[in-house]
Amino acid sequence: MTSKGKIENRFLTLLDAEEGNGEVNGYTINPFFKERKEEGSHFYEYLSEKIYFAHWNTSKGLETPMLTYPHPDYIQLNFCLNGHIVYADETGLEVFSNTKGFQNIIYKGLEELNVRIVVPTELLIIYLRKDFFLDYSHLNDNNGEAFMKNVSLKKYATLSGPNLPISNRMASIIQLLINSQECDGFKKNLVDARIIELLTLQLDSFQRSMIQQAGTPLKNEEMAQMEEARTYLISRLDSSITLKELAHQVGTNEFNLKKHFKMVFGKTVFAYLFEYKMEKAHDKLIQTSAPIAEIALELGYKHATHFSAAFKRHYGYLPKELRL
């Protein structure tokens, strides 16, 4: 421990190296992709003039908390894909936490925060330079006023009070971002475009949540039930389930399931599931050479013709046309 009681071991990234806080071996060019693998941990980073992101997948968490450098010129987009992450101040008090399936926009300001991860966890953390963020966020006095005031004062803040669910479209873009197969010369353009879309979807999610809060807000337990329902749905794409069965699975009734699910995700249960399946199919058709009939089965369609008809109804063209 240091004299101030802070933890000595630092969480060092390419962004820290860029800002002169430490050295990361092999860091030589900009923009730069770097992959670091250790036992039980995979860390993939990208750094350009305006954007830094890290995809971190750890099967064991951190043995001890690690101290992070402040980045007052950057806004953080935080996506927890699995597990649980906690930021704590130097006294050990929890400042921010995120769990599987949720996202938020945070500003660390001048804070040096300890990061704690005690369970297997997968994260996507994106830092945007403030000028880049402001160019695309369009936050104003009626939308995110408190957040932007704290940013101007270089004080810690979160855009949304409660963390918000990662939508189907967000999850799809994240997978494209972290599993990019494009040639290096084109990656920067695609990274920029995908992150701008992610930011736009987060801001839209925030606005929707503000509208919902103006009505009857859901309890934390009810929010957790709806996230559990979403997770259950998308983990069993090849099987069918009724609303009654899904409600029983997450500990609520059919009436509340329909009402609360639409409040949280903006769509009915089956509209959400259909959209998720179509986006999953679209990505598989582009990224893999799997037969269309195989993709149809994975998504719960017994007949490829039924899948093709649904795909055309959603996108306006047949699955095979995407591969021409």
Q: How far apart are CA 153 and CA 150, in angstroms?
A: 5
CATH number for position 91? 2.60.120.280
Residue 9 lies in a domain: no
Residue 25 confidence (pLDDT): 66
**Structural domain of residue 184, as residue ranges?**
14-212
Residue 142 confidence (pLDDT): 58
Residue 8 lies in a domain: no
Residue 235 confidence (pLDDT): 86
Residue 263 lies in a domain: yes
- Phi, psi for 247 (deg, rounded to 5): -60, -45
Residue 84 confidence (pLDDT): 92
Same domain, 67 and 147: yes
Same domain, 172 and 224: no
3 state SS of 6: coil
Same domain, 46 and 148: yes
Residue 26 confidence (pLDDT): 59
Residue 149 lies in a domain: yes
Q: How far apart are CA 261 and CA 276, in angstroms?
A: 15
Residue 59 lies in a domain: yes
Same domain, 261 and 313: yes
Strand partners, 29: none
Of 166, 183, 212, which marks where a domain is finished?
A: 212
Residue 22 lies in a domain: yes
Residue 2 lies in a domain: no
Residue 124 lies in a domain: yes
The model's pTM is 0.71
pLDDT digits (tens), the chain, 324 positions = 343 444 457 788 888 888 887 776 655 545 677 777 777 888 888 888 899 999 999 988 887 888 999 999 999 999 999 899 999 988 888 999 999 889 999 999 998 999 999 889 999 999 999 999 988 887 765 568 889 989 999 999 999 988 988 988 899 899 888 887 655 666 788 888 999 999 999 998 888 777 666 666 778 788 889 888 988 888 888 888 899 999 999 999 999 999 999 887 878 999 989 988 988 888 888 878 899 999 999 999 999 999 999 999 888 889 998 887
Q: How far apart are CA 263 and CA 218, in angstroms?
A: 9
Q: What is the DSSP string of 272-314?
A: HHHHHHHHHHHHHHHH----HHHHHHHTT-SSHHHHHHHHHHH
Question: How crowded is residue 189: how many other Cβ atoms within 10 Å of its Cβ?
Answer: 10
Same domain, 54 and 160: yes
Question: How crowded is residue 22: how many other Cβ atoms within 10 Å of its Cβ?
Answer: 12
Residue 253 confidence (pLDDT): 94
Residue 1 confidence (pLDDT): 34
